[in-house]
Structure 1
């Protein structure tokens, strides 16, 4: 006989911790378990171990609404974020519900039993856990393998080729010439960190530029509020200041892309050597926020280039050679180490297969309701954070709303809730309104979004507060079914 809990949460990263806290706070009578495949919590922040790993969002919004981030440092490194998450789970007793080494391989919904059966591999055995509700909080990329395109001549290169997702703890890069392929957030983080920790000359090799913004890692506003106000009041103020500034910047970028582009290029010119070809190396073909704008705390990448420790090459790869990379331009980049910061492979539900009554479900056939529940998957929520703001803002909204759904079901005696596909009345759209390579490569795999609410979100936290936090649960787009008498709820 399989174990039963009210809620199974898959993943003990930021999303899973948020889900657990909200369940304890809003649905205190519900039993739950967090199944984490790895040996530690933290998700992304435990997985990535490359030098300089840090947040690409400010900690006043990457931090939880219920757990103040009290440091003045708005941009935090990986160890500080891990310490914050560990403190959070211990403070609220969430750590007692986490089970490590639990690989969820399959989940099947039964209409007859109105419950999920989750298949878990652990320690060489396979077990099943039954649950009324399933919360998929495992992020959106493959933890086993980063995206690594095949480069001609890879086997010829004499040195190590490293993907940041699998950074070797014993990699000796002191004094070494390093070429970092890519110009996304990982490359922008890695290059200053490697330069500061003893690497030789560094080259960021990019096929096309990325927008990069320089911001201080310590926010003067938060320094003032933390000094003058009680911790909780200061955190609320710091958090809302960050939310409003982020939202305003994003709206300006989307409505006035040429203006925003000019501001970013001017920022780069002021920080780079005189005469540097900013247009070639820092002016993308796309508009700001078609892809994420990368963050350089205190302009560290620009400082590294200005100091002569790194340069940027915009070119295409012809092939790897024994001593580096031959470029299409005819130039050659000498390298002792090549780092392929080429991105992620997108994957939902940690790669677990999903079925209903034993019949496999195809994610691409489903449509996302409020970006958090899928048609044909009852009693299930999933979390994908914002692409233009902190992940946690969306994670907290998803957790809040799903707890409201659970309490509504208890109060009405409902056994199942399922979004109803709107059919031809709503045009299909990509579920992620975002065009980096890892999304474009996965469009045929991902669920769909719709052309209007509640099937479409606008990547806007302020609007989502109305749609999700303040939106009614008894929505016409959700079908609730009842087979039992109503029960009293304590929340």
Structure 2
């Protein structure tokens, strides 16, 4: 893999920021559909994989099935539909290698500033290099695939008495390689996807693991293998089997989501009953697995083959719903007066949202604030020219939307080439009422409301959480729709 600057790197056609799942997929799409484009990928870290390389905590896995989290163009062939982190990392690496985009990645380049010039119809993008120096490259189009959270900082609440705790406090995002929790008493603070992954994984070696939550989360079991996918692979060619399974899972997720939103009480009861059936009489399901909110007000957690419920049933793990009063030398004192003994405390307390890798953006000398912009089809921002962003679904696999976005960028670039267009920018329309970008009550979303752009009250400014709607809008919708403005070098259209 090449980490040296490209020769004659004064002007690129497309600069992709981020070499994770989205960035590698975007580069592969450009290689297939725009083979003449001069493309580079800047990656702040020293490895391909993004999230799936950064996170190394026990049990790390997808919370979406790999037939939809995988790329449309590359079949997922592992029998496990809910895959572990190393398998996903290998899949991304194989995609980068086989598509020929591995050589485009330049490591140790953290973007810090992107400046747009209408006079030159290009971006000047500044990166901080691994040695602390800075480098600037110009590009006609900027494609942000840097994810939506900070790699350098997690959401890290502080608790009274932390300094008194005699054990070790760790964050999943920065899992220490030297941590040996075998035979130790572990408390995992949190109830989201990370916590429900950590608890059963750590319970295999720890003396006991307690999941400490302020409030319950919806947790559902899903088979780790897709039975239909395995049958189809025996009957059909690999790509046909993959495509069929992918569409089955897409349609299934859309139907289940719509049912949850249209009949929340019924779905709520169904999820809680399923949890009760797997937990048995030893766990208070009403207290620990019955949230106060409706399904999909926050993301529903998936546990493959019910591994969390199995750990709770056999007693190697337990769940406590309470408030933290303070840390003590030997554990955590709760508001109820109960004290949880702990040798290791894991703060699975969430992500810190961050757009565009934290870089500053200026447009013709003026500072650009994403929070003041409106999202165009959920992938470009109003008044921000020649830039796209990969931002996936909250109720389905991230890659579904990232794949659609990559296809749209390729269509847009080809359209611009055919018509001699140098600038493409969505322009905000009068009368479109702003709405929250994400209609989610999850803590990480609520903490970052001031950072996120807005969506609008009508298309093309609406951010659909629906693959079929996006498919028709993004893949088959008109490029010249009157909202996307096109122009030549010299001035913003």
Q: Which of the five TM-score ranges fits, normalised by the shorter chain?
A: over 0.9
1:85 to 74, 92, 100: 92
Aligned positions of 1:318-397 closer than 5 A: 318-397=325-404
Q: Contact conserved, 1:370 with 1:456, CA < 8 A, in 2?
A: yes
Q: What's the TM-score once normalised by structure 1's chain length?
A: 0.97
Cα offset, 1:467, TM superposition: 0.8
Q: Contact conserved, 1:2 with 1:127, CA < 8 A, in 2?
A: no
Equivalent-residue separation in structure 1 for 2:117 and 2:437 (angstroms): 26
1:177 to 170, 185, 189: 185
Gaps of 5+ in 1: 485-491
2:480 to 460, 474, 479: 474
Aligned positions of 1:96-111 closer than 5 A: 96-111=103-118
Equivalent-residue separation in structure 2 for 1:243 and 1:319 (angstroms): 44
1:441 to 441, 447, 450: 447
Q: Contact conserved, 1:72 with 1:226, CA < 8 A, in 2?
A: no
Q: Contact conserved, 2:10 with 2:138, CA < 8 A, in 1?
A: yes
Cα offset, 1:2, TM superposition: 6.4
Note the aligned Cα RMSD (angstroms): 1.1
Q: Are 1:155 and 2:163 an aligned pair?
A: yes
* 1:379-433 C-alpha deviation (Å, 9 max, x unpaired): 000011000000000000011111111111111111101111123x111111122
Q: Are 1:187 and 2:195 an aligned pair?
A: yes
What residue is the counterpart of 2:101 in the other structure?
94
Equivalent-residue separation in structure 2 for 1:362 and 1:230 (angstroms): 48
2:252 to 245, 248, 255: 245
What residue is the counterpart of 1:426 in the other structure?
432
Q: Contact conserved, 1:22 with 1:399, CA < 8 A, in 2?
A: yes
Equivalent-residue separation in structure 2 for 1:102 and 1:483 (angstroms): 28
Moved more, 151-160 or 291-300: 151-160
Cα offset, 1:275, TM superposition: 4.9
Equivalent-residue separation in structure 1 for 2:73 and 2:156 (angstroms): 38
* 1:171-197 C-alpha deviation (Å, 9 max, x unpaired): 01011000100000000000111112x
Q: Are 1:127 and 2:146 an aligned pair?
A: no
Equivalent-residue separation in structure 2 for 1:415 and 1:231 (angstroms): 40
Equivalent-residue separation in structure 1 for 2:14 and 2:237 (angstroms): 36
Q: Contact conserved, 2:282 with 2:313, CA < 8 A, in 1?
A: no
Q: Contact conserved, 1:2 with 1:128, CA < 8 A, in 2?
A: no
What residue is the counterpart of 1:488 in the other structure?
none
* 1:110-140 C-alpha deviation (Å, 9 max, x unpaired): 0111100000111332111000000000000
Q: Contact conserved, 1:115 with 1:132, CA < 8 A, in 2?
A: yes
Q: Are 1:232 and 2:242 an aligned pair?
A: no
Q: Which runs of 4+ in 1 moved over 3 A?
A: none
> How many pairs does the alignment contain?
482
SS in 1 for 2:352: coil
What residue is the counterpart of 1:61 in the other structure?
68
SS in 2 for 1:139: coil
SS in 2 for 1:274: helix
Cα offset, 1:150, TM superposition: 1.4
Equivalent-residue separation in structure 1 for 2:447 and 2:281 (angstroms): 38
Gaps of 5+ in 2: 1-7
Q: What's the TM-score once normalised by structure 2's chain length?
A: 0.96
Equivalent-residue separation in structure 1 for 2:445 and 2:277 (angstroms): 33
Cα offset, 1:357, TM superposition: 1.9
